[in-house]
Amino acid sequence: MTFPATQIALMIQGRIEGNPEAAVTSFAKIEEAQQGQLSFLANPKYEEYLYSTNASVVIINEDFELKQPVKATLVRVKDAYSAFAILLSKYQEIMQHQLSGVQQPSFIAPTATYGENVYIGAFAYIGENVKIGDHTKVYPNVFIGDGVTVGDHCILHPGVKIYHDCIIGAHVTIHAGSVIGSDGFGFAPLPDGSFKKIPHLGNVIIEDRVEIGANAAIDRATLGSTLIKQGAKLDNLIQIAHNVEIGSSTVIAAQSGISGSTRVGNGVMIGGQVGIVGHIQIGDGARINAQSGVSKSLEPGKAVTGSPAYDFTAALRSQAISRQLPELEKRVKELEALVKQLTPIP
């Protein structure tokens, strides 16, 4: 598909400098872009490429001052990075809209229903009493268990597995290999030292506009629901245990794990490789630095780092002092020597 600069500017409310008829068919990084491609400049570290790029159209910030002429047609916007993200999203929507219908072989149970303009890829399995909303894309090798509900405009990438009775809202994206609704890690110790598996009879509820990365695992609740609230964003390789609640617009980076029955508030930011124990509460707006180990509840807005995690500002002070330890040791030894010289011999 071809998009002229005028159409691009209209979609992102931009102002054109250069040829309004310049057309693009694809996207590329500014240092690699060729004629017929669209790119952007948001980070000043890449400014040099603006003057040498072969891109036909480049999106830049409205307050950016050119130091020399450019070949590309420019589209000035308030925030080039956000505008480029909007264009990528619109392009993806257009391309995905072209996918529709049911590919064979696939299995759709007689009691399953799906809406308009739905795509179901080859080797997908749709169980009994499943409900799939309008404009949802189910890619090949997806498993959707009995009684699952999937809302409108969802994207289930290849190999996603959704166990029975889970509920997926609208505009949800789940990337390849993720598992929703598997049993939690629940075992009761017995007198003989063995463990008895605890059945997990609950489900997982994922609200609207959630995105889950590849190879994540979200366990079903023992009773009730494991809940991912609207707008939350989960990276790849994340473990969410049974009965956990993740608040609205919370973001969690890769390789983090949250133990059972913990409540994470709204707007929380969790870095990569964070571990959080079970049965605690993380307050709204908390910030947890990468590789932290959180062993107790955090109040709203708290920023922590380290393992065990503690106050972020205090941690920075401790790190600053630790870097001075060699010099401090030298000074202590000098002071000890001076004290010995000043101490009278009995």
- Per-residue model confidence as pLDDT tens digits over 31-40: 999 999 999 9
Q: Which amino acid is at 75?
A: V
For the chain, the maximum distance between any two Cα atoms, rounded to a whole number of angstroms, is: 101
Q: Indicate the pTM of the whole model.
A: 0.80
pLDDT of residue 316: 80
Cα–Cα distances (Å) from 189 to 94, 194, 195, in that order, read 53, 6, 5
Please state the φ and ψ torsions of residue 189, each to the nearest 5 degrees: -70, 140
Q: Where in the chain is the domain with CATH 2.160.10.10?
A: 102-313
Taking residues 300-307, what's their average pLDDT? 93
Q: Which residues are catalytic?
A: 242
CATH topology of domain 102-313: UDP N-Acetylglucosamine Acyltransferase; domain 1 (2.160.10)
**Does pLDDT of 346 surpass 70?**
no
The Cα 27–Cα 91 span in angstroms is 10
Q: Where in the chain is the domain with CATH 3.40.1390.10?
A: 3-97
Taking residues 138-143, what's their average pLDDT? 98
Q: Answer with the residue of higher pLDDT: 319 or 74.
A: 74
The answer to whether the CB of 64 falls within 8 A of the CB of 83 is no
CATH code assigned to 3-97: 3.40.1390.10
- pLDDT confidence tier of residue 345, bands split at 50, 70 and 90: low
**Does pLDDT of 159 surpass 80?**
yes
- pLDDT confidence tier of residue 118, bands split at 50, 70 and 90: very high
The Cα 150–Cα 131 span in angstroms is 6
Q: What is the mean pLDDT of the chain?
A: 95
CA 96, 100, 105, 111 dihedral sign is positive
Q: Which amino acid is at 247?
A: G
Which one, of 83, 87, 81, 19, lies nearest residue 55 by Cα? 19
The Cα 211–Cα 208 span in angstroms is 9
**Does pLDDT of 171 surpass 80?**
yes
Over the stretch 206-262, which tens digit does the pLDDT of each residue have?
999 999 999 999 999 999 999 999 999 999 999 999 999 999 999 999 999 999 999
